[in-house]
Structure 1
Amino acid sequence: MKRRRPAPDGTVFLVPLRDSGHAIGVLARATGEGHAFGYFFGPRVSKASDVNMERLIPENALLVGKFGDLEILRKNWPIIGALKDWVPSNWPMLPMARIDEAAGRAWLAIYDDSFNCIKETEIDIDAASRYPYDRMMGAGAVEVRLTNLIRSAEES
Protein backbone atom coordinates (compact mmCIF):
# COMPACT_ATOMS: atom_id res chain seq x y z
CA MET A 1 0.00 0.00 0.00
CA LYS A 2 1.38 3.36 -1.02
CA ARG A 3 1.74 6.05 1.65
CA ARG A 4 1.14 9.63 0.79
CA ARG A 5 3.97 11.91 -0.22
CA PRO A 6 5.16 14.06 2.67
CA ALA A 7 5.01 17.24 0.56
CA PRO A 8 5.67 18.42 -3.00
CA ASP A 9 9.25 18.56 -4.24
CA GLY A 10 10.76 21.96 -3.49
CA THR A 11 9.19 22.11 -0.03
CA VAL A 12 11.29 23.78 2.67
CA PHE A 13 11.14 22.41 6.21
CA LEU A 14 12.89 22.75 9.57
CA VAL A 15 14.95 19.99 11.16
CA PRO A 16 15.33 20.24 14.94
CA LEU A 17 18.93 20.21 16.10
CA ARG A 18 19.92 18.21 19.16
CA ASP A 19 21.32 21.17 21.10
CA SER A 20 19.06 24.07 20.08
CA GLY A 21 17.45 25.63 17.06
CA HIS A 22 16.88 24.16 13.64
CA ALA A 23 18.61 23.37 10.38
CA ILE A 24 16.79 23.84 7.08
CA GLY A 25 15.85 21.11 4.63
CA VAL A 26 14.70 21.13 1.02
CA LEU A 27 12.75 18.11 -0.17
CA ALA A 28 14.13 17.34 -3.62
CA ARG A 29 12.47 13.94 -4.24
CA ALA A 30 10.01 11.68 -2.44
CA THR A 31 8.54 8.32 -3.41
CA GLY A 32 5.42 8.33 -1.27
CA GLU A 33 6.73 5.09 0.22
CA GLY A 34 8.96 6.58 2.92
CA HIS A 35 12.02 7.39 0.82
CA ALA A 36 13.10 10.98 0.32
CA PHE A 37 16.14 12.82 -1.00
CA GLY A 38 17.04 16.23 0.32
CA TYR A 39 19.48 19.05 0.70
CA PHE A 40 20.14 20.35 4.23
CA PHE A 41 21.44 23.76 5.25
CA GLY A 42 22.71 25.93 8.05
CA PRO A 43 23.07 28.31 9.67
CA ARG A 44 21.14 27.47 12.82
CA VAL A 45 17.77 29.23 12.93
CA SER A 46 15.36 29.55 15.83
CA LYS A 47 12.15 30.02 13.85
CA ALA A 48 10.75 29.87 10.32
CA SER A 49 10.97 33.63 9.79
CA ASP A 50 14.77 33.38 10.22
CA VAL A 51 15.11 31.31 7.04
CA ASN A 52 16.60 33.13 4.06
CA MET A 53 15.03 31.28 1.11
CA GLU A 54 17.38 33.06 -1.33
CA ARG A 55 20.37 31.36 0.29
CA LEU A 56 18.94 27.88 -0.32
CA ILE A 57 20.87 26.74 -3.36
CA PRO A 58 22.34 23.27 -3.82
CA GLU A 59 25.93 24.51 -3.66
CA ASN A 60 25.39 25.79 -0.10
CA ALA A 61 24.12 22.49 1.31
CA LEU A 62 25.89 21.09 4.38
CA LEU A 63 24.43 17.62 3.87
CA VAL A 64 22.82 15.90 0.89
CA GLY A 65 21.28 12.48 0.80
CA LYS A 66 18.49 9.97 1.14
CA PHE A 67 16.41 10.02 4.30
CA GLY A 68 13.16 8.73 5.71
CA ASP A 69 10.23 11.14 5.39
CA LEU A 70 8.26 10.14 8.50
CA GLU A 71 9.14 13.20 10.59
CA ILE A 72 7.85 15.49 7.84
CA LEU A 73 4.59 13.51 7.74
CA ARG A 74 4.33 13.63 11.54
CA LYS A 75 4.99 17.39 11.42
CA ASN A 76 7.98 17.03 13.76
CA TRP A 77 9.98 18.58 10.91
CA PRO A 78 7.59 21.46 10.16
CA ILE A 79 7.03 22.66 6.63
CA ILE A 80 7.66 26.39 6.30
CA GLY A 81 7.12 27.01 2.60
CA ALA A 82 8.28 26.17 -0.89
CA LEU A 83 11.05 27.41 -3.12
CA LYS A 84 9.92 29.83 -5.81
CA ASP A 85 10.37 28.66 -9.38
CA TRP A 86 11.22 25.05 -8.41
CA VAL A 87 13.20 23.31 -11.18
CA PRO A 88 13.94 19.64 -10.31
CA SER A 89 16.99 19.47 -12.59
CA ASN A 90 18.60 22.22 -10.49
CA TRP A 91 18.25 19.92 -7.44
CA PRO A 92 19.39 16.54 -8.80
CA MET A 93 19.66 13.15 -7.13
CA LEU A 94 23.44 13.23 -6.89
CA PRO A 95 25.66 10.20 -7.44
CA MET A 96 26.30 8.52 -4.10
CA ALA A 97 29.26 6.46 -2.87
CA ARG A 98 29.31 3.17 -1.01
CA ILE A 99 32.51 2.01 0.70
CA ASP A 100 33.56 -1.46 1.84
CA GLU A 101 36.45 -0.51 4.11
CA ALA A 102 37.35 -4.11 4.91
CA ALA A 103 37.82 -4.89 1.22
CA GLY A 104 39.29 -1.46 0.40
CA ARG A 105 36.75 -0.94 -2.39
CA ALA A 106 34.16 1.71 -3.26
CA TRP A 107 31.30 2.12 -5.72
CA LEU A 108 29.46 5.09 -7.17
CA ALA A 109 25.71 4.62 -7.61
CA ILE A 110 23.47 6.65 -9.89
CA TYR A 111 19.74 6.71 -9.06
CA ASP A 112 16.72 7.81 -11.05
CA ASP A 113 14.03 10.01 -9.51
CA SER A 114 12.17 6.90 -8.30
CA PHE A 115 15.21 5.78 -6.27
CA ASN A 116 16.07 2.92 -8.65
CA CYS A 117 19.80 2.34 -9.01
CA ILE A 118 20.38 2.66 -12.75
CA LYS A 119 24.18 2.44 -12.76
CA GLU A 120 26.91 1.40 -10.38
CA THR A 121 30.62 1.77 -11.06
CA GLU A 122 33.62 0.85 -8.95
CA ILE A 123 35.69 3.91 -8.07
CA ASP A 124 38.87 4.64 -6.17
CA ILE A 125 38.22 4.55 -2.44
CA ASP A 126 39.77 8.02 -2.00
CA ALA A 127 37.41 9.45 -4.63
CA ALA A 128 34.39 8.18 -2.68
CA SER A 129 34.80 10.91 -0.05
CA ARG A 130 33.81 13.53 -2.66
CA TYR A 131 30.26 12.15 -2.86
CA PRO A 132 27.34 11.82 -0.45
CA TYR A 133 27.24 8.41 1.21
CA ASP A 134 24.80 5.95 -0.31
CA ARG A 135 22.63 5.24 2.70
CA MET A 136 19.12 5.88 3.93
CA MET A 137 19.40 8.16 6.95
CA GLY A 138 16.83 7.98 9.70
CA ALA A 139 15.54 11.17 11.27
CA GLY A 140 17.82 10.85 14.28
CA ALA A 141 20.88 10.41 12.07
CA VAL A 142 19.99 13.53 10.08
CA GLU A 143 19.43 15.56 13.25
CA VAL A 144 22.71 14.44 14.88
CA ARG A 145 24.75 14.91 11.69
CA LEU A 146 23.34 18.41 11.11
CA THR A 147 23.88 19.37 14.75
CA ASN A 148 27.54 18.38 14.46
CA LEU A 149 28.04 20.06 11.06
CA ILE A 150 26.44 23.33 12.18
CA ARG A 151 28.29 23.34 15.50
CA SER A 152 31.60 22.83 13.64
CA ALA A 153 30.77 25.67 11.23
CA GLU A 154 29.96 27.99 14.14
CA GLU A 155 33.24 27.14 15.89
CA SER A 156 35.42 27.80 12.84
Structure 2
Amino acid sequence: MTEQERAAAVSLFEAGHGHMSAASLLGVGHQGVRNLFDRWKIHGREVLVEKRTKRRFSFEEKREIVRRYLTGEASGLELAAEYELSSRKIITKWVRIVREEGEEGLRPKPKGRPGRSSNVAQEPASELERLRAENERLRAEVAYLGKLKALRDQERQ
Protein backbone atom coordinates (compact mmCIF):
# COMPACT_ATOMS: atom_id res chain seq x y z
CA MET A 1 0.00 0.00 0.00
CA THR A 2 1.20 3.48 -0.77
CA GLU A 3 1.48 6.13 1.91
CA GLN A 4 -1.63 7.88 0.54
CA GLU A 5 -3.62 4.63 0.61
CA ARG A 6 -2.54 4.01 4.19
CA ALA A 7 -3.63 7.52 5.23
CA ALA A 8 -6.96 7.11 3.41
CA ALA A 9 -7.50 3.73 5.10
CA VAL A 10 -6.86 5.24 8.55
CA SER A 11 -9.36 8.01 7.77
CA LEU A 12 -11.92 5.36 6.82
CA PHE A 13 -11.23 3.44 10.05
CA GLU A 14 -11.79 6.63 12.03
CA ALA A 15 -15.07 7.14 10.15
CA GLY A 16 -16.25 3.73 11.36
CA HIS A 17 -15.38 1.49 8.40
CA GLY A 18 -13.92 -1.96 8.94
CA HIS A 19 -10.91 -3.35 7.12
CA MET A 20 -12.95 -5.16 4.44
CA SER A 21 -15.02 -2.06 3.68
CA ALA A 22 -11.92 0.16 3.56
CA ALA A 23 -10.12 -2.30 1.27
CA SER A 24 -12.99 -2.42 -1.21
CA LEU A 25 -13.44 1.37 -1.18
CA LEU A 26 -9.72 1.87 -1.83
CA GLY A 27 -9.47 -0.98 -4.34
CA VAL A 28 -6.56 -2.67 -2.56
CA GLY A 29 -6.01 -6.12 -1.08
CA HIS A 30 -7.78 -6.77 2.20
CA GLN A 31 -4.87 -8.50 3.97
CA GLY A 32 -2.65 -5.43 3.99
CA VAL A 33 -5.57 -3.29 5.11
CA ARG A 34 -6.39 -5.81 7.85
CA ASN A 35 -2.82 -5.67 9.17
CA LEU A 36 -3.01 -1.87 9.14
CA PHE A 37 -6.42 -2.01 10.89
CA ASP A 38 -5.06 -4.27 13.65
CA ARG A 39 -2.12 -1.93 14.21
CA TRP A 40 -4.45 1.11 14.09
CA LYS A 41 -6.55 -0.41 16.90
CA ILE A 42 -3.38 -0.53 19.01
CA HIS A 43 -1.62 2.72 18.07
CA GLY A 44 -4.28 4.95 16.53
CA ARG A 45 -3.12 7.50 13.96
CA GLU A 46 0.51 6.91 14.99
CA VAL A 47 0.38 3.81 12.79
CA LEU A 48 1.20 6.15 9.88
CA VAL A 49 4.52 7.17 11.46
CA GLU A 50 7.36 4.76 10.74
CA LYS A 51 9.33 3.74 13.80
CA ARG A 52 13.08 4.00 13.29
CA THR A 53 14.23 1.50 15.89
CA LYS A 54 13.21 -2.04 16.57
CA ARG A 55 12.68 -2.74 20.26
CA ARG A 56 14.23 -5.92 21.59
CA PHE A 57 12.59 -7.86 24.38
CA SER A 58 14.49 -9.89 26.93
CA PHE A 59 13.71 -13.54 27.55
CA GLU A 60 12.00 -12.63 30.83
CA GLU A 61 9.77 -10.00 29.17
CA LYS A 62 8.72 -12.40 26.41
CA ARG A 63 8.01 -15.13 28.96
CA GLU A 64 5.87 -12.75 31.05
CA ILE A 65 3.89 -11.52 28.02
CA VAL A 66 3.22 -15.11 26.89
CA ARG A 67 2.23 -16.13 30.44
CA ARG A 68 -0.26 -13.25 30.70
CA TYR A 69 -1.70 -14.11 27.27
CA LEU A 70 -2.08 -17.83 28.01
CA THR A 71 -3.68 -17.29 31.43
CA GLY A 72 -6.22 -14.93 29.87
CA GLU A 73 -5.04 -12.03 32.02
CA ALA A 74 -4.97 -9.83 28.91
CA SER A 75 -5.77 -10.18 25.22
CA GLY A 76 -3.16 -10.01 22.50
CA LEU A 77 -4.42 -6.58 21.52
CA GLU A 78 -4.17 -5.27 25.09
CA LEU A 79 -0.68 -6.69 25.57
CA ALA A 80 0.49 -5.28 22.23
CA ALA A 81 -0.73 -1.83 23.27
CA GLU A 82 0.77 -2.11 26.78
CA TYR A 83 4.21 -3.21 25.58
CA GLU A 84 4.12 -1.02 22.44
CA LEU A 85 4.41 -3.95 20.05
CA SER A 86 3.78 -3.20 16.39
CA SER A 87 1.27 -6.04 16.09
CA ARG A 88 -0.44 -8.69 18.18
CA LYS A 89 0.95 -11.26 15.74
CA ILE A 90 4.28 -10.99 17.54
CA ILE A 91 2.61 -12.38 20.67
CA THR A 92 0.96 -15.23 18.77
CA LYS A 93 4.36 -16.06 17.26
CA TRP A 94 5.93 -16.22 20.74
CA VAL A 95 3.05 -18.42 21.96
CA ARG A 96 3.59 -20.80 19.03
CA ILE A 97 7.31 -20.97 19.82
CA VAL A 98 6.58 -21.78 23.48
CA ARG A 99 4.15 -24.53 22.49
CA GLU A 100 6.59 -26.07 20.00
CA GLU A 101 9.95 -25.59 21.76
CA GLY A 102 9.09 -24.68 25.35
CA GLU A 103 10.08 -21.46 27.09
CA GLU A 104 13.73 -21.94 26.09
CA GLY A 105 12.67 -21.23 22.49
CA LEU A 106 12.18 -17.58 23.48
CA ARG A 107 15.87 -17.17 24.31
CA PRO A 108 17.88 -15.18 21.74
CA LYS A 109 19.50 -17.30 19.06
CA PRO A 110 23.13 -16.75 18.06
CA LYS A 111 23.41 -14.71 14.88
CA GLY A 112 25.85 -15.04 12.02
CA ARG A 113 28.29 -17.67 10.96
CA PRO A 114 29.65 -19.90 13.73
CA GLY A 115 33.27 -19.25 14.65
CA ARG A 116 36.07 -21.72 14.08
CA SER A 117 36.81 -23.96 17.03
CA SER A 118 40.58 -23.50 16.67
CA ASN A 119 43.20 -22.37 14.18
CA VAL A 120 44.70 -25.86 14.02
CA ALA A 121 43.04 -28.19 11.55
CA GLN A 122 41.16 -31.09 13.12
CA GLU A 123 43.03 -34.40 12.96
CA PRO A 124 41.18 -37.04 10.93
CA ALA A 125 39.63 -39.63 13.23
CA SER A 126 40.93 -42.65 11.35
CA GLU A 127 43.52 -43.70 8.81
CA LEU A 128 40.78 -44.12 6.20
CA GLU A 129 39.59 -40.52 6.68
CA ARG A 130 43.19 -39.26 6.49
CA LEU A 131 43.73 -41.11 3.20
CA ARG A 132 40.45 -39.82 1.75
CA ALA A 133 41.40 -36.24 2.65
CA GLU A 134 44.85 -36.68 1.07
CA ASN A 135 43.25 -38.21 -2.05
CA GLU A 136 40.88 -35.24 -2.34
CA ARG A 137 43.77 -32.78 -1.95
CA LEU A 138 45.82 -34.60 -4.62
CA ARG A 139 42.89 -34.63 -7.06
CA ALA A 140 42.48 -30.88 -6.61
CA GLU A 141 46.22 -30.42 -7.20
CA VAL A 142 46.11 -32.52 -10.40
CA ALA A 143 43.10 -30.55 -11.67
CA TYR A 144 44.87 -27.26 -10.90
CA LEU A 145 48.06 -28.33 -12.67
CA GLY A 146 46.07 -29.55 -15.68
CA LYS A 147 44.34 -26.18 -16.04
CA LEU A 148 47.64 -24.37 -15.58
CA LYS A 149 49.21 -26.46 -18.37
CA ALA A 150 46.20 -25.76 -20.64
CA LEU A 151 46.52 -22.01 -20.02
CA ARG A 152 50.25 -22.05 -20.78
CA ASP A 153 49.65 -24.04 -23.97
CA GLN A 154 46.97 -21.53 -24.97
CA GLU A 155 49.39 -18.60 -24.41
CA ARG A 156 52.02 -20.21 -26.65
CA GLN A 157 49.63 -20.45 -29.59
Same fold (TM over 0.5): no
Output the TM-score relative to the length of structure 2.
Answer: 0.22
Q: Which has the larger radius of gyration?
A: 2
Q: Report the TM-score, using the length of structure 1 for normalisation.
A: 0.22
Higher share in helix: 2
